[in-house]
A and B are shown apart, each in its own frame.
Chain A
């Protein structure tokens, strides 16, 4: 069987773009608040449903759907942080308690979504024109996804490097006490990061939902690769996450070719991600962080 390697590469770019948009928020909040927010999966899911509500149920179109979902999710992220995680951190809860609380929050969100929209999968009705470009099969949605990931990378780079708030985020991430002593409003920095992180999760959710389906497990379905990206890239490291997202996208898509050749179920693509996660933990738990500037 001839393998269309160009298509494999292109698919890797799509997968990597999705993981990047989904993982940036998680890695930034993880780095600042020092715990993995498992409810990030449900932020992704909720974003997809808000997008569905605006684009399909209200019929207001894509750009507005992305914007509303981003803002709604961002506000919810800040509220969740202020209402649950900040009080827990203040009373000195251990990281395990924070993780359990985030799983509990995930359950509340997931089943609230299930209660509102039911557990039947929903689909965006918009059809994307697919066309052939040389050996490649391309859909408009995928081009938008890759564009979104590129735009996100540039915007985040400019934000982190050139703005006051970006510098404050980096300072707080590397040393919260020193940042506080330097007059940075650490809490505000954390809120802004949660706003951006949850908002970007919504964008990822809409793209994932448009590419596959929308149901209360939309986010949970991709939580393992997202965690793999965060850990491989180095927790809290934005530039590491970019590299890790595309490495994992590539590994998954090459892996699928291998799985088909071996006659195994392609569902095992998650297993490849799991292997990368475990190998990272054994060999280099700090991930690719040392290759990149801390951000």
Chain B
């Protein structure tokens, strides 16, 4: 693979995982939910896309269906656990991801079992790898921008502020009349829908979906992206996605040039683990701090204060 193709490939991956990272940032960063089964919703999106495109639905319908089904599952699995402490949700969702992968592995009639299922690409073959990748960059970029705008608007809306309030103090937020279970369920639904879209994009880009693509490691890498970039900061989530993907590629390239004492595929995850513990210990706010809330009222108050100050100095 030429360097240009390689960079294009990397950009597609950053885009797809950027969407997943944004979705986890919405759930964990803003709503304070421990979704340890992110990969489950990624899987649902990918397989929904694969199965629906096989019966000939157009790609946008497949993506939307993936998002919807993913959202429904997000709601269903979270219902029993949402009113409980966050560790219950973490365990329930983690278990859900493992079960789902097991089902895909065991049910050969559904999606080919262990060998997976072929997915027809959206873009017809134009005789060039570069064009194929550029088309995918455009598609993934489009979805990423939409997702980013949605979460960014949400973060600064009254809705997003209520979400942060619930994250900080459930009891106080409840006393102010915010239904915490409802907010959490909605955050999980939206987050799962985004992960579903990303899964669909992933399957169509790779042109296949198989259970081995959806190991719990995926969930963990997305957590690194969010924690490293900065929870509750959407730019941070994107930065984290880019850094982790580049690091991932970097170790893969390095193995061709250096002889390492440890097998690089193992070394990579050891380093990821060490990195995440160091971040949690020494910089739990991540690289970028939580974004401040921007509202009209705050801006007015700020302008008013500076106006008063200016008057005073005259």
Residues of A within 8 A of B (CB): 35-36, 84, 87-88, 91, 93-97, 99-101, 103-108, 110-112, 114-115, 220, 224, 227, 231, 264-265, 267-268, 270-271, 274, 277-278, 281-282, 285
Contact = CB atoms under 8 A, between A and B. Distances in A.
Contacts of A88: 280-281
Given A88-B280, A100-B227, A277 B92 contact: yes
Given A88-B281, A267-B102, A270-B99, A95 B86 contact: yes
10 contacts: A103-B220, A105-B273, A111-B266, A112-B266, A115-B262, A231-B88, A274-B99, A277-B91, A277-B95, A281-B81
Contact of A96 (B34, B92, B217, B274): B34
Most buried by A among B84, B90, B263: B90
B276 A96 contact: no
Interface of B: 28, 32, 34, 36, 80-81, 84-88, 90-92, 95-96, 98-99, 102-103, 105-106, 216-217, 220, 223, 227, 262-263, 266-270, 272-274, 276-277, 280-281, 284
A105 B277 contact: yes
A232 to B, nearest CB: 12
Contact of A114 (B90, B263, B273): B263
A44 to B, nearest CB: 16
Contacts of B280: 88, 93, 97, 100-101, 104
Contacts of B272: 104, 107
Contacts of B220: 103-104, 107
B192 to A, nearest CB: 17
A107 B273 contact: yes
Contacts of B273: 104-108, 111
A278 B277 contact: no
A95 B36 CA distance: 13
B48 to A, nearest CB: 20
The 9 closest A-B pairs by CB, nearest first: A108-B273, A107-B273, A265-B106, A104-B276, A111-B266, A115-B266, A104-B273, A111-B269, A282-B80
Given A99-B87, A107-B269, A111-B267, 8 more contacts: A35-B87, A96-B34, A100-B223, A108-B274, A115-B266, A227-B91, A271-B103, A281-B84
Contacts of B91: 36, 227, 231, 277
A100 B276 contact: yes
Contacts of A220: 216
B88 A224 contact: no
Nearest to A106: B273
Given A93-B280, A100-B276, A100-B280, A270 B270 contact: no
